[in-house]
Amino acid sequence: MKFVSTRKALAATSAETVFQGLAPDGGLYVPLLEDVSGEAVNCQTLREAEEFIMSKIFDDLPQSVRTDAADRLLSRFPEEDPIPLVDVCGMKILELFHGKTGAFKDVALSMLPVFMKYAANGKRVLVLTATSGDTGSAAMQGFAGVEGTEVVVLYPNVGTSRIQRLQMTTPADANVHAIAIRGNFDDAQAAVKRIFADKAMNDEAAACGVTLSSANSINTGRLVPQIAYYILASSRIGAEFDVVVPSGNFGNILAAYYAKKLGAKIRKFVVASNVNDVLARFVKTGVYDPGENFTVTNSPSMDIRKSSNVERLLWLLNGGTVDPEKASAETERLMRDFADKGRYELNDEAKARLFADFEGEVASPEETEAEMRRVKDECGYILDPHTAVATFVARKLGYPKEGVQTVVAATATPYKFPETCLRAFSADVLDNPPKSFKDLETLPIVQTKVVDVCDIDNAIREVFRR
């Protein structure tokens, strides 16, 4: 498999895309993947699904690396059924939250360290990660103690849940670092991208024997493993289905889009947004316009206005698999519009492709908590607020439709959001937390650094100069 960048069609191997994270042209790497949608695929276990995806996209990585990555993933999830598919209120809930930190990010971030260690080939790597709540803790867990790597997580000082914050501030491994910023996720992500593009900063890190990379879903090593659980869901269902994904940085639903191209029987992709609704508006209009308003909500992992992975979708919508150079030129134009005007609009052909595959809607914080109550009262199932956004949006749009099953990606455990659950249910319904969550309450706080956005670079320098 060969990869190219979304802006100048720069070619790269799988290992290079993992090691670099962001492409040198400022874009993201995308696989030159043959579209085989409609072909049968049958993977009845998570291992089979991951091996299948890696054989299609990471086929130039040694088999031993791919096997080690799958082994590491399975060692960190329940052995019997790592990703259950359960019936709840007429929909199927794909439970992606049974890893160490209780969020879907644990799937890919259990595998990325294996890919990264191979790609680094003995070099020291500093993995920069922006997080709105879940990626940071999953990255710290995934890379904790991994030789040759340092991890720096940038997270908003205000907005994460107490549990999310504890998951980032209690890890004591010497190679993991959490830094709170006086800003939001967009500020953190912008800083990561800017640092990657800063030649002087990269040269300074190199002089210290360090290469900068990323654990965000801009990295192919984050995105590729996520495709597998949609292949697994499709194999288990054995028929066409619609998928609803609570969406922030767009990586999870993009993984579903790739899964369809590799044979998953997905009919429609439904983007579920909170009131930071740029993605829902985009899939309705073909116009990406973050606007000026940013709201801290009860679904904090979706409090994002500038979603990186949309750039990969732009490339696909503009015919990237047929004419990569033409698609890259159009994607570069759109991203230039975004830099200059703060917004961009798809051409008519790309809009038609977008509207054919995607829908989107919004749930307010009040609607989210009402949905949590409804599902518990009617079905005895407790949703986390992000998944409640998804089930609310699904119902609002009339799913399930036309006898086709609806699969909702459950992206986090409710135990990560006890404050919201207490407010939604007016009672403590979280009576059996996982041991890792119980332990958080007694662990000392060791990650205490808080910086202004303008001081992020110096905070990063402190780490790679150690």
Burial of 348 (0-12, 13-18, 19+ CB in 10 A): exposed
Nearest Cα to Cα of residue 368 among 295, 266, 285: 295
Please say whether the beta carbons of 42 and 52 come within 8 A. no
Nearest by Cα to 311 from 337, 293, 292, 291: 337
Q: Rounded to whole angstroms, how far apart are CA atoms 217 and 403?
A: 33
Active site residues: 105
Read off the tokens for 226: 């996520």
> Please, are residues 152 and 422 in contact by the beta-carbon 8 Å criterion?
no
d(CA 417, CA 165): 11
Q: How many helices (H) and strands (E) does the chain have?
A: 19, 16
Which residue is associated with the tokens 């639903």?
A: 253
Instruction: With CA atoms as reference, report the closest residue to 313 among 269, 274, 373.
Output: 269
Task: Give the C-alpha separation, 359 to 444, whole Å.
Answer: 44
Radius of gyration in angstroms for the set of CA atoms belonging to the chain, rounded to a whole number: 20
* Residue 156: C-alpha distances to residues 54, 388, 464 (Å): 33, 23, 22
Nearest to 290, CA basis, from 305, 268, 275, 303 = 305
Q: What is the DSSP letter of 171?
A: -
Nearest to 376 by CA among 433, 424, 431, 434: 424
Is residue 331 classed as helix, strand or coil in its secondary structure? Answer: helix
Residue 86: half-sphere exposure toward Cβ, Cα within 13 Å: 15
